[in-house]
Structure 1
Amino acid sequence: MPERKIELIGPGFKIHSVTGSNPKIIEAEYVGPVACPGCEGTELRTKDRILRRLHHASLGRSATRLHLTVRKYHCRRCGRYFRPRMPGILPYRRSTEQFRRQVYLDHRDGISREQLRRNCRIGTATVERWFHDHLELKERMFSGRECPEVLGIDEHFFSKKNGYVTTFCDLKKHRVFELALGRSEKALEPFLKGLKGRERVKVVCIDLSGSYRAIVRKYFPNARIVADRFHVVRTVLRHFLATWKQLDPDGRANRGLLSLMRRHASKLRPDQKLRLNRYLDAHPAVRILYEAKESLCALLNIKHRTKKQCQPLIRRLVNWIWKLRYSGFPAMETLAETLDNWSSEIACMWRFTKNNGITEGFHTKMEVIQRRAYGFKNFTNYRLRVIVMCG
């Protein structure tokens, strides 16, 4: 076939022929611009030609082999012998960068090493090594970043040996910022001291964890702590259900009634409202408890308020704390202490709409990554994958 120039890997390659079906054999030659690496001279003389047999990215569903003719040059100016550097092909490698990236993407998307070994005719150890090379390359792109302005902090389980991992999430850009092994202040201290730009953080969203609150106050001095709305409402619901169990143990054991009592009234269907009202009519004390739960949750679910608009809401919250503290039920008294202890963080929750739902969503994706790998033992390997796929 006639010679033709195309950008096969980059500019400067000339294809002579394409033969075979699986694998396809591409006979090509590098004729791009060449300069001496020593003196950058262009007065060159061809001394020899060698043939490099390389794995190349697939064309369609067919494997591809690149038979590339490379010249050996002699520089007339400095007398150096060399072979030119070519775009997309690194020295001493038997595959192009396009092929290595293709293997990385296939393995990242769930194709096993054994399947790639059969499809690409390379070893499973080679697949893993190339995969880690690309992970480390991408991770270096994220290294050196400064802390985001809006940060979400939460933990998730990693392994029985290593325990929990703390996730630092950029809530403004919806991506994972960093992972650190451990969840206590002592375990996270070396990592937190090495963070760049901690003074840039303006808002930190956390659940009702005393250890995380102490960490934020110590290491993020300019940050406003915001309680996560989901965890606050869940805490309220848990204590109300404990009080319901004290009032009516049989009704609390009914899973159908439990489902109705946990939902917000606006999310019930007409038939479900009718069933719930029949039960509440038969138990007036439980009705008072249910209406109190709905009123308190409605207060906690308020969003998008200014500083001035939050002032009457704070008075309502203080009133609720007083009512719960003197209700006479142990669970309600415990809830009052919790709300009082976190009152300033809950008040910030009305102004700042960001919450840790983004972080929880990334935790779900991390569970998928762990299941796909049948678990991780090496935290460094796990962190690389999460930063690249979620960062």
Structure 2
Amino acid sequence: MPKKDCILNLPGYSIKRVRGENPVYIEVSYRWVVRCIHCGNKKLRKKDSFIRRIRHESIGLRRSYLCIKAHKYYCPACNRYFNQRFPGIGKHQRATESLRKQVFHYHSKGVSQKDLARDLKLGKSTVERWYHYGYELRYKKIATRSCPRILGLDEHSFNRKVGYATTFCDLAKHKIFDVVEGRSAKDLEGYLKTLEGRDKVLVVCIDLSSSYRLLIRRYFPNAKIVADRFHVIRLLNQMSLQTYQQIDPQIKYQRGLLAALRTNEANLTIKRLNKRASYLKQ
């Protein structure tokens, strides 16, 4: 793709001419091979031509239009007629997918319908319709993604009204995969059934509770269950504190000394090293 054509953000198009200031009219041509939309045949006959004017994403603060010459074709292989289709432009649409994504992006960032409609010369209903369209595409992308191979599960309590929620994490990429309301088997079974690629999950990391183990064995048959390091270390700290209190009941009031006893010797300051040494001599 030539450098000047990169500004279109649409592959397969070449800029022929640019005119106007606001809006900017960009005359483009389609350079890829046209195929029959019914059978995929490349040997086509041109029967007619017409100019399509398509709304495109803004260039800075200026609105832009694509002016492209389209053809009506006849396919001798399947004996059918059709109008030329273009990538990045939906059927019967007068705006590119790039402009729809732009509206969805700015509306998600908090720009109101009124401001978007005024700046882009659109109707409020059009802005709302495009936003719902973008949201549906985003939801389908999330709903059909494959389950991560290294999965982490943990429960969180927000408040009494909301209750508990279960967080699914992609531990290989250090990202949140999804958040599901509830923590019981009844709450999670419906979601787990819809996950794709469950048989490819290798490791599931959970806390020391046994509430998730039955669900994991049922829905992730090939996964190995491992304990979360955070919960293991927290349990070790709790057991260590109980042991300290059995030996010295007054140690729970000395937080600095407890920190010195739990910390690795290589990470202690001289002050805490001396404090720990004096306590152990007693």
Q: TM-score, normalised by structure 2?
A: 0.68
Aligned twin of 1:139: 142
Aligned twin of 1:43: 45
What is the root-mean-square deviation of aligned Cα atoms in Å?
Answer: 4.3
Distance 1:30 1:18 in 2: 15
Alignment of 1:227 onto 2:231? no
Distance 2:160 2:92 in 1: 42
Q: Is the alpha carbon distance of 1:38 and 1:266 closer, same or farther for their aligned partners in structure 2, counting shifts above 3 Å?
A: closer
Aligned twin of 2:62: 63
For residue 52 of structure 1, give the secondary structure of its aligned residue in structure 2: strand
Q: Is the alpha carbon distance of 1:137 and 1:220 closer, same or farther for their aligned partners in structure 2, counting shifts above 3 Å?
A: closer
Q: Is the alpha carbon distance of 1:155 and 1:107 closer, same or farther for their aligned partners in structure 2, counting shifts above 3 Å?
A: farther
Q: Which has the higher helix share?
A: 1
Contact 1:207–1:228 (CA under 8 A) maintained in structure 2: yes
State the 1:6 CA deviation. Answer: 4.4
Q: Is the alpha carbon distance of 1:105 and 1:272 closer, same or farther for their aligned partners in structure 2, counting shifts above 3 Å?
A: farther
Aligned twin of 1:16: 17
Alignment of 1:54 onto 2:55? yes
State the 1:180 CA deviation. Answer: 3.9
Distance 2:206 2:18 in 1: 62
Aligned twin of 2:190: 190
Contact 1:15–1:26 (CA under 8 A) maintained in structure 2: no
AA aligned to 1:19 is G
Percent identity of the aligned residues?
A: 34
State the 1:89 CA deviation. Answer: 1.4
Of structures 1 and 2, the one with the larger relative CO (CA 8 A, separation 6+) is 1
Aligned twin of 2:24: 25
Q: Could you list the runs of 5+ residues in structure 1 that have no partner in the other structure?
A: 285-391
Q: Is the alpha carbon distance of 1:65 and 1:230 closer, same or farther for their aligned partners in structure 2, counting shifts above 3 Å?
A: same
For residue 211 of structure 1, give the secondary structure of its aligned residue in structure 2: coil
| Matched ranges for 1:1-391 at <5 A | 6=5, 8=8, 9-20=10-21, 23=22, 25-30=24-29, 32=31, 42-46=44-48, 49-56=50-57, 58-59=58-59, 61-71=60-70, 73=72, 83-103=83-103, 111-114=109-112, 117=116, 125=128, 128-139=131-142, 142=145, 145=146, 148=149, 150-157=150-157, 161-172=161-172, 179-193=179-193, 195=195, 198=198, 200-242=200-242, 244=244, 247-249=248-250, 252-257=252-257, 259-278=259-278, 280-281=279-280, 284=282
Aligned twin of 1:346: none
Q: Deviations over 1:37-91 (max 9, x none)?
A: 57967333436x45524032x44x3434114254564759799876421222113
Distance 2:203 2:66 in 1: 57
Q: Is the alpha carbon distance of 1:131 and 1:157 closer, same or farther for their aligned partners in structure 2, counting shifts above 3 Å?
A: farther
Q: Deviations over 1:283-336 (max 9, x none)?
A: x4xxxxxxxxxxxxxxxxxxxxxxxxxxxxxxxxxxxxxxxxxxxxxxxxxxxx
